[in-house]
Structures are given as structure tokens and as C-alpha cells.
Amino acid sequence: MSKKNWPLWEVFVRSKNGLEHRHFGSLHAPDPDMALKNARDVYTRRSEGVSIWVVESKNIKASNPDDNGEMFEPAADKAYRHPTFYELPDDIEHM
Amino acid sequence: MTNENLIQYIYGIADNSLILGQRISELCGHGPTLETDIAMTNMALDLLGQTRSYYQYVAELSPKDITEDDVAFLRTEREYKNVLLVEQPNTDFAYVIVRQYFFDVFHFMLLKELENSKNVNFQAIAKKSLKEVSYHKRFSGDWLKRLGDGTEESKQKAQQAIDDLWVYTDELFHMTDNDKAVSKAGYGVDTTNLKDSYYAAITSLLKEATLDIPDTKYFQKGGKNGIHTEHMGFILSDMQYMQRTYPGMKW
Amino acid sequence: MENMKEKEQMKSLEDIFEAKIARDEKIEPKDWMPEKYRKTHIRQISQHAHSEIVGMLPEGNWITRAPSLRRKVALLAKVQDEAGHGLYLYSACETLGISREELYDQLHSGKAKYSSIFNYPTLTWADIGAIGWLVDGAAIINQVPLCSTSFGPYARAMVRVCKEESFHQRQGYEIMMTLCNGTQEQKDMAQDALNRWWWPSLMMLGPTDDESTHTEQSMKWKLKRKTNDELRQQFIDQTVPQADILGLKVPDENLKYNNETGHYNFGDIDWEEFWQVVKGHGMCNKERISARKNAWDNGEWVRDAAIAYADKQADKEVKEAV
């Protein structure tokens, strides 16, 4: 007996064309084909989707929250990347 | 061709969906994984949905004032015209998958033809059901490959199921006198034409699944004429329990 | 000295953590969390998941006997949803570093708990109505606040569960309604089901506040928004008028609307029975666990086959690539 369990997969579903694939949840499956089928049966029972991606969870490289300081905080003081940083007269239009 | 011909013909198709749907329903909550459980239940729901469309049409055709539930629950065993294959028990997952695959391949071919029926109701039901059954066929076929070419144990169990269920495949292509009449009128399907491609399809998948074709020469038959295996009585006593115990009530 | 410093660091980490929750920020799986938070969540989410899949069994009982095709597909879809909800919840639990298989082991060995109500038998078709109406009704009261609980994966799973479950209670109430508009036999069947399911449903909302051990901590972590007694009162207040509409009598001689409080007063709950069932002495405890265990054990060769096949296919791909 192999005693090997079905690996975990992450499921991404596009609700309708024009929208991005969004993370819906996860499930277990022995291989990519079955993962896709299971995703269809588990996550689109109420017509929630028109396209599905599955990816084995172990293949996702995730950032570590401990690094959040160096990863994300340096972006916080770059206000000049946002339109509100620039001062324009109130009566100017189309801008 | 009379309405009664048409009704009997519908039983020959719809009762398969009902009884197989009922059989798969027994498994809900008992599957090998939650994912598989959910997938199997989806198939049961598809089949029961198809059953309802057919029986609602029967209720329309019938001279009597009846509903889909009268059709589903209040016939005697001899009046159900499903093939013997679909009433076979859920012995283990291999039986469930083999039974499903043997039926799905046939079901798909039948619906493909029924889509060209002169009868618009048949056309509509077939068109909708085809998408569902196309998925069933893929699901059961894929599983059969996994069981056949999986472990030694799974191969042996799949082979056992194939050997035991093979004898029920030939009946799928039997044409009753009624089938012939309805098919001649352009409403029904002449299933004898499907037989070769059916066995070709099955043989090719079994080969891929590293499983053997049994060399059985004798096949079981009877369901299409209402003569069932002993399993059928138990299926019906479960299914008809409420309607028989409390006649004439609304639920 | 070192030890002191570590303790201080830990304390400040915990303070930051608690402050985050107090600000209504979510905790995600890879975030730092106190060990107690992880353990409590594994326990609660897995209990919840177990309840979903054990809960499939008493209702699953009636799928093959459902009295009409319409009822059959609705019940089948409902029980299937419960499998889905179990799956979402196990997945949420797995983000905390425990596998579904380990969680199953806990269930099968009797180590893990699940909602005791599923240890009561479903004896008539009306029980399917009563479960949908009362048990799902009580479950919704418990679950809706969890949509904004502090642990992200649990909250997200609950949003999905609550959305899908909205038809479950209606399905049950509609069954009861049909029975109550039917023959005397059907009305009796409905009343009998209410008689048997009423008290277990009240118990389902948990022990009284003075008996409940986890409440304070759970409130802080937003695993609970109201106490068991508050939830129970809410359930009774909303359910009694629904019973009135059905023309059914709630089996409690002491049930009476209190004009001063605006709530119903109700009789004593038999907590002795509750604890007996929790301890495994309900009518169906053994059957439920063995049904789950059989499904898992009998499925082992199937799961193994699929893995073996996947390994072979992967080998083939490698060989083809060479």
C-alpha cells in the first residue's frame, strides 16, 4: 500500500469573460486532469465559472510575511506615483 | 405509431437515467474522497434531471391525468424498461465506474442520434443531455484508465467488474418491437447501427487501461421487456416507499 | 536573561497580533500567530468540517426514499453541498499546517468532535424537513457571524458556505409547509418530527454560558460574536413564529412570550442527554463514525490507484522528454 495522499491544488476560476481568474479555494486530486475535473465539480456547481486554472499548491512560491517590511513598505512614501500628488487648478477639465 | 408507442419508447430511455441516478444516489456520502463524492453526485443530478424532462413529456402524452412522479414511482416492476446494466449494485468503486462507463458510451451515442429525431421534444432533451453525458463519459473513462493502469489491486478489481458486467452490454442494442416501430417512424434510434462503434470505443479504452476484453459469448437480457434482475425489486421498494405507503398525497 | 528577553519579545508579538484582530484586520496562514490561536482554529474549523460530512449521513438516508423527483434532486443537491462545505472547511484548516488525512484520523478514532445533533436518527420524511428548518436554521445563526471571523481562510470559506446554504433552510421549511397543508397523517408526521428535533436543535447552539469554556477567548478572536445563550434565544425567538405559521406546537410547556423582555421564555434543556450524546452514547454515534470510516477505508485502494497512475504518467513524460 502506497499510503501516499492526493496532493493539494489551488483552484482559480474566471467567472465570466472579461474578468480575471480569481482564487476560489483548494482541493485534493491525484493529477492535473483530475484536479481540473474536481474543480469543475466542486467550485462551479452554480454556474460560477467559464474557465478554470489549477496549480499544485507546492508549486506556488509565496512571499514571507516576515519580509513584509522590506517587500512592501518602501512603496508607501512614493506618493508621486499617484495622480493626487499633483496639484492642478480646480477648474481644469479632462485631466 | 401511437402515443402509447412513444411512451413505451421513452420508458426505454428514461428509466435508464432514473435507475442509474438512483443507484449513484446511494453513494452520496460514501465516496472514496469528498471530491469524488461530489463529482458522482453531479452525475446523479444530471441523470435525474433528464429523467424529469422525459417523464414530464410522458405526462403530456398520456391520456390520463398523471404527473412525472406517477410515472417515476407508481409503476409495477414489469413496467420499468431500463436495461439490466444500470440496476446492478454498487459492489465497489470499480463496479460503479465500469457500469458507468459501459452505460455512458452507449448513452452518448444514443443521444447523438436522438438529436436528429423527428420529435422536437427528443431533440431538445438530447441536445441538453449530450453535454452532460459527454462529461460523464470522460469522467468514467478517465477513472477506468486509472483503475486499470493503477495498482495491481485496482487492476484486478477493475477486471473483475468488467468480467461481471460485460454480459449486460449486449442488451443495450436490443430492439424491442416497440423500438422498431418508433425508429421506423423516424422518432427513435436504431441502436443496432451503434453496436460496432460502441465495442470499438470500449475496446480501445480498455486496451489503453491495460485491461482485457472478456471472451463471453452469452449475454443477459430482459430489462427492456420489463424482466429484471432480483436487484430491481429492492431498488423499487426503496424508491417507491413513500408513494406506496401514503398513496395520493402531495409532498 | 535570554529567556526573559524571549518572553518579552513574545509578549510584544502577541500584543501586536491581538491589536491587529481588534482593528478588524485578518490573519492569514503565513502570518505569525500564537500557538494557541493555531490550535484553537484547527480544533474549531475541523469540528465544523466534520459536522458537515457527518451531517451528510442522516439526510443521505432519505435520498433514495425521497417522495418525489423534485424533492429527490433538491435533497441530493443539499447533501452534496454539505460535502462541498466540508471540503472548503478542511481546506481552510489545512492552511494551518495539518493535512486532511490527519483530520480524518482524528474523526475516525473518536478524538475529534462534531455536532452532536447528527447522532440522532432520521426516522420519517418529515425529519428531512425538520432538519432543514431547525438544524440548518440553528447552523445559520452560528455561521453568519463567522463570515467576519479573524482568520482569513475560515472567513472566506464561511462566506461561500453561507451563500450556498441559503437554500437549505428554505428547502426544509417548504417540506414542512407541504406536510402541514396535507393530510392528518402528514401533519402528525410533521409534529412528530418537530417534537423530536426541537430540543436537540436548542442544544446544538452549545452549552449554557456558565458551562462554556472557550467563550471569552473565542469572542476576542471573533470565532464567536454572541454567547451560546444569546444565540439560543435568537433561534427560539425567530423559530417559534415560524412554527405558528405551520400550525405546529413547539414541544415546550413553559414556552411563553415575555412582553417585558420581548423574548420567549422557555423550559429547561435536558443537558444530561446532551452530554451523553457528546460522550458517544447517542443512538447513532457508532453508525455515523463507522460509515465515515468505511467510506475512507474502502476508498483507499481507489486513491492509491489514482496516485500510482499519476506516477506512471509522470515517469512516461520524463522518458519522452529525454
Domain count of chain B? 1
> Which domain, by its residues, includes B158?
3-213+220-245
End-to-end, the C-alpha distance of chain C in Å comes to 59
Confidence (pLDDT) at C2:
64
Q: What percent of chain C has pLDDT over 90?
A: 89
Q: Tell me, what DSSP letter sits at residue B220? A: -
Domain assignment of residue B251, yes or no:
no
Domain assignment of residue B250, yes or no:
no
Of the candidates B251, B250, B230, B247, the residue with the CA atom closest to the CA atom of residue B74:
B247
Q: What percent of chain A has pLDDT over 90?
A: 79
Cβ contact A14:A51 at 8 Å:
yes
Residues of B within 8 A of C70 (CB-CB) are: 52
Contact across the interface for B35 and A27, Cβ inside 8 Å: yes
Give C253-275 pLDDT, tens digit per residue: 999 999 999 999 999 999 999 99
**pTM reported for the whole predicted model:** 0.95
3-state secondary structure of A9: strand
Confidence (pLDDT) at A93:
87
Closest chain C residue to A10, measured at CA: C91
Residues of B within 8 A of C63 (CB-CB) are: 25-26, 28
CATH of residue B78's domain is 1.20.1260.10
Contact across the interface for B39 and A38, Cβ inside 8 Å: yes
CA-based nearest distance A81→chain B, Å: 46
Task: Retrieve residue C25's grid coordinates.
Answer: 484586520
Confidence (pLDDT) at A3:
62
Contact across the interface for A27 and C32, Cβ inside 8 Å: no
Q: Does A13 touch chain C (CB under 8 A)?
A: no
Average pLDDT over residues B128-135: 98
CA-based nearest distance B10→chain A, Å: 28
Domain assignment of residue B15, yes or no:
yes
Residue A94 pLDDT greater than 90, yes or no = no
- Between the CA of residue C50 and those of A6, C99, C211, what are the distances in Å? 19, 14, 23
Residue A30 pLDDT greater than 80, yes or no = yes
Residue C301: phi, psi to the nearest 5? -65, -30
Confidence (pLDDT) at B23:
98
Q: How many CA atoms lie within 13 A of C198 on its CB side?
A: 22
What ipTM did this prediction achieve?
0.97
Confidence (pLDDT) at A1:
41
Q: Does C133 touch chain A (CB under 8 A)?
A: no
Average pLDDT over residues C72-96: 97
More confident residue, B216 or B126: B126
Provide the pLDDT confidence category of residue A2 given band limits of 50, 70 and 90: very low
Closest chain A residue to C101, measured at CA: A5
Residue B131 pLDDT greater than 70, yes or no = yes
Confidence (pLDDT) at A95:
81
Q: Does A68 touch chain C (CB under 8 A)?
A: no
Confidence (pLDDT) at B14:
98
- C94, C300, C313: residue with CB nearest A8: C94
Confidence (pLDDT) at C149:
96
3-state secondary structure C83-104: HHHHHHHHHHHHCCCCCHHHHH
Q: Does A34 touch chain C (CB under 8 A)?
A: yes
Mean of the per-residue pLDDT values of chain B: 97
B197-230 burial, b for 16+ CB within 10 Å, e for fewer?
Answer: ebeebbeebbeebebeeeeeeeebeebbebebbe
Provide the pLDDT confidence category of residue C212 given band limits of 50, 70 and 90: confident
Contact across the interface for B38 and A42, Cβ inside 8 Å: yes
Closest chain A residue to C77, measured at CA: A45
Give C136-165 pLDDT, tens digit per residue: 999 999 999 999 999 999 999 999 999 998
Residue C251 pLDDT greater than 80, yes or no = yes
**Crossing angle of helices C184-204 and C136-143, rounded to 10°:** 30
Measured at the CA of B205, the angle between CA B24 and CA A3, to 5 degrees, comes to 65
Contact partners for chain C, using 3 or more CB pairs closer than 8 A, are A, B
Mean of the per-residue pLDDT values of chain C: 95
CA-based nearest distance A38→chain B, Å: 6
C194 contacts: CB under 8 Å, gap ≥ 6: C130, C134, C243, C248, C249, C250, C251
A35-45 burial, b for 16+ CB within 10 Å, e for fewer?
Answer: bbbbbbbbbbb
- B35, B138, B151: residue with CB nearest A42: B35
Domain assignment of residue B145, yes or no:
yes
Domain assignment of residue B16, yes or no:
yes
More confident residue, B44 or A76: B44
Residues of C within 8 A of B241 (CB-CB) are: 65
Q: Does B70 touch chain C (CB under 8 A)?
A: no
Domain assignment of residue B187, yes or no:
yes
Residue where the block lists cell 453531479: B42
CA-based nearest distance B33→chain A, Å: 9
Domain assignment of residue B122, yes or no:
yes
Average pLDDT over residues B161-189: 97
Q: What percent of chain B has pLDDT over 90?
A: 99
Confidence (pLDDT) at C320:
85
Confidence (pLDDT) at C165:
87
- A26, A30, A64: residue with CB nearest C306: A30
Q: How far apart are CA B103 and CA B20, in angstroms?
A: 9
Task: Quickly count: other Cβ atoms within 10 Å of residue C28's Cβ.
Answer: 12
Cβ contact C230:C215 at 8 Å:
no
Provide the pLDDT confidence category of residue C9 given band limits of 50, 70 and 90: confident
Closest chain A residue to C29, measured at CA: A65
Measured at the CA of B58, the angle between CA B55 and CA B60, to 5 degrees, comes to 115
Find which of B146, B160, B210, B234 to mutate to test the C interface (most C CBs within 10 Å of its CB): B146
